Structures are given as structure tokens and as C-alpha cells.
Structure 1
Amino acid sequence: MSFDSSVRRKPIHTRKIEMNSFLREDGLWELEASLLDVKAYDFPKRNGSIKVAGSPVHNMKICLLVTEGGEVRDARAHYEDAPYDQVCSAIEADYKALIGLHLLRNFRNAVKERFSRTSGCTHMSELVVLLPTVFVQSLSASRNRKEARSGKKPFQLEGCHALALTSPVVKEFYPDWYVNDVPEAGKIN
């Protein structure tokens, strides 16, 4: 998507983030996130070598082992490529401090408290705070089945503008929860 297709653009930087969730046979979840940064141009490194366009500047992964309830049981961070090599990767073991956190209870703030500024890696911390949303998406089918059986309002309703109780989406897919906020003709609210 471009603002103006008549104006030529020169690629400079690409960041790719990939996230996956896996349900293990023991009932635990593995959530994996990876981040890959590449430049579209060659540039010199301080040691005199050349970083070739398209080669990774950052290539990192984090994996969390999580209970169905959202508690982090284990955490592993790993750098394949980092701009400062071993200095960057020296922080990997520190991300074990994620163990015991809960993905659905103040996780992002806890990550910020533990890994802000020089206590962590900016890129790894940016990556890990995306995992709660992936976890919620992973649980959605089972949560929807449980909530349908219990008569409880589906958790995703009112989570965004498309799922407002007054939305046509809710009217179509969740009619039991739809709220008509348009006043009937002749009635004053």
C-alpha cells in the first residue's frame, strides 16, 4: 500500500515478525515469536567488514511454555544474528525472568518493569509483549465452545469496534448478544 503510486519509493528496512502457537499433548502451550530485520543496502561494520543487503541485522526468537490458564512456566530467548553479536546474546538467560508471569494479567507492564532500558533488549521485549494476543487467538475456539455451553457472553465481544454489541457483525454472528441502539420511530430515548 502506497500513499501515492506515482511517487517512486526506495526500500530501506524490512522487519518480519512471525508468531506461532502449539498445543502440546501434555496440555501446555508453546508460543514462539521471531523477529527478522534486514537492510536493503550494504553498509560497513566497525570491524571493517561489510553487512550485505538482505543479510539479517536482527534474527531472534523467544519461546514461552504456558499453561492453558496463561501462566508462563518456562522461557527461552535466542539470537541467531544481532548487531553486537555476543554482547546482545548475553541477555538471553535474563528472559527466564518471564517465568511466573501471567499472559492475561498485566503482562505487558511486567515485561516493561523487568526489561526496560539496559535491563533487557528493546527488540526482544517488543516481540514478547505481542504473545498474549497470539495466546488469546489460540484459545478462542475452546473458549467459545465453553462460553456457548455456559450461556456466558463470548469474551471477544466489545473487544474492538467491529464487535461492539451494537455492531452488524454481532447482529449476524452473535444475535443473542446484539443490542439495537437505534431508537424506534416516534420514540425518544
Structure 2
Amino acid sequence: MPLTKPVRRKLHHRRTITCDGYERDDGLWDIEARMTDVKTGTVDNPERGGYVPAGEPFHDIWLRLTLDRTLKIYQAEAAIEASPFRICPAITGQYRKLEGTRIGSGWHRQASELLGGTSGCTHLNELLKPLATTAIQTLWPSTDEEVMKLGANVMLNTCHTWGQSSQVIKQYLPELYRAEGSDS
């Protein structure tokens, strides 16, 4: 077990996020994410027939981005199969606003401007980060060295490994390398 042994406890809730990347026959890529929230006990809910039984998804939410090798999004499709309120699925069409955008530097900010607040869904928006990194992982490894540069567009300066002063950047993307403390 990677974490220390916890005190005695009882599971009440499980959130599962699954992301899959598919190479399509037409040369594009489908990156899909699914989020489920499942309670271990029955939850009262007037909009779901009075209650949501234990073990039945409280949330079951999907998002698919279809993109090319440059991470340009050609199609975005969202679906909400289960939610606590009947109104929730009405927002899914808004995610087409991502079409024409490109995953890369500033993309999360752009997506937030398009779909933040009441223009989107909190849970669908939560799926955007793992979808972006899944897109990179789906295209990588590749014999195409451009994939490393695409990765840098999303990952540069997001962690110590992808920091501009790291040995990884110095070795694989020397044009982006900046020695620590340098102004250039």
C-alpha cells in the first residue's frame, strides 16, 4: 500500500474517473473521459424518483474530444447519464464551444472562459485536465519528435520534471531550456 495504514473507517463514496485515447481510422483521435460518483448508502433525491439507491451512480458523466496530432479539437461531445437534478444534461451542448480550440499553453484558461461558471458544468469542467494529459499520453510515445514539443505546450513549467530548468528539458528540448536564475 503506497499510503500509510489509515485508522478504521468505512467507505461512503467512490468517484471514478476513466480516460481512454483511441486512434481512429480517419487519422483523428478520440479522447474520452467518464466520471462516476457512487454512494454506499441510499440518498434521498426527489428528482430521481425519491432516492438514488446505494451502488447506483449519483453522477455518470462523459466527455469526448476528437482531435488531430496538433491537438486541435474538431468535435466535442458531452453526455450526462445520471445526475442529481433533471436540468443537468441541458448544458452538454455548450461543450461544442471547445471545437476549433487547441490543447496547449493557455488552453485550460480558454476553456474556463468558454465554459466556466453558469456556462458549463463543474464536473464536465473537472474532466478537461485529465483529458488534456490523456491526449498527450495517447500520442506519446511516438517516433515523431513533435510529440515531445506538443507535450511541452501543455506541460512546460507545470511540475519539476517539466520545468524549463530541468535536466529533462535540457536533454530533450534544449531550445526551451533556461538555466535556473537566468533571465533569458
The answer to whether TM tops 0.5 is: yes
Distance 1:74 1:2, change over 3 A: same
8 Å CA contact 1:91–1:121 kept in 2: the answer is: yes
Aligned AA for 1:70? L
| TM-score under structure 2 length normalisation | 0.76
Taking the aligned partners of 1:76 and 1:129, their CA distance within structure 2 comes to 16
Task: Write out per-residue CA displacement over residues 123-182 of structure 1, whole angstroms, 9 at most, x where no aligned residue.
Answer: 00111232111111112222xx2339xxx9x96898754578877xx6xxx79x8xxxxx
Task: Write out per-residue CA displacement over residues 84-106 of structure 1, whole angstroms, 9 at most, x where no aligned residue.
Answer: 12x10001111100101101232
Q: Does 1:129 align with 2:142?
A: no
Over aligned residue pairs, what C-alpha RMSD do you find? 3.0
The aligned residue for residue 113 of structure 1 is: 113
The aligned residue for residue 145 of structure 2 is: 147
Name which one, 1 or 2, has greater alpha-carbon Rg: 1
Taking the aligned partners of 1:43 and 1:107, their CA distance within structure 2 comes to 37
When the two structures are aligned, how many residues end up with a matched partner?
Answer: 166
The aligned residue for residue 75 of structure 2 is: 74
Aligned AA for 2:144? K
SS at match of 1:130: helix
Unaligned ranges ≥5, structure 1: 178-189
Aligned AA for 2:80? Y
Unaligned ranges ≥5, structure 2: 175-184
Aligned AA for 2:125? S
CA-CA distance at 1:11 after TM superposition: 1.0
CA-CA distance at 1:3 after TM superposition: 4.3
SS at match of 1:90: helix
| TM-score under structure 1 length normalisation | 0.75
Taking the aligned partners of 2:120 and 2:157, their CA distance within structure 1 comes to 34
8 Å CA contact 2:160–2:166 kept in 1: the answer is: no
SS at match of 1:131: helix
The aligned residue for residue 185 of structure 1 is: none
SS at match of 2:94: helix
Larger deviation: 133-142 or 118-127?
A: 133-142
CA-CA distance at 1:45 after TM superposition: 1.3
Task: Write out the 4+ residue segments of structure 1 that deviate beyond 3 Å after TM superposition.
Answer: 1-5, 154-167
Q: Does 1:15 align with 2:4?
A: no
8 Å CA contact 2:18–2:33 kept in 1: the answer is: yes
The aligned residue for residue 41 of structure 1 is: 41
8 Å CA contact 1:107–1:129 kept in 2: the answer is: no
Distance 1:125 1:158, change over 3 A: closer
The aligned residue for residue 181 of structure 2 is: none
The aligned residue for residue 186 of structure 1 is: none
The aligned residue for residue 184 of structure 1 is: none
8 Å CA contact 1:13–1:38 kept in 2: the answer is: yes
CA-CA distance at 1:78 after TM superposition: 0.5
Taking the aligned partners of 1:116 and 1:158, their CA distance within structure 2 comes to 24
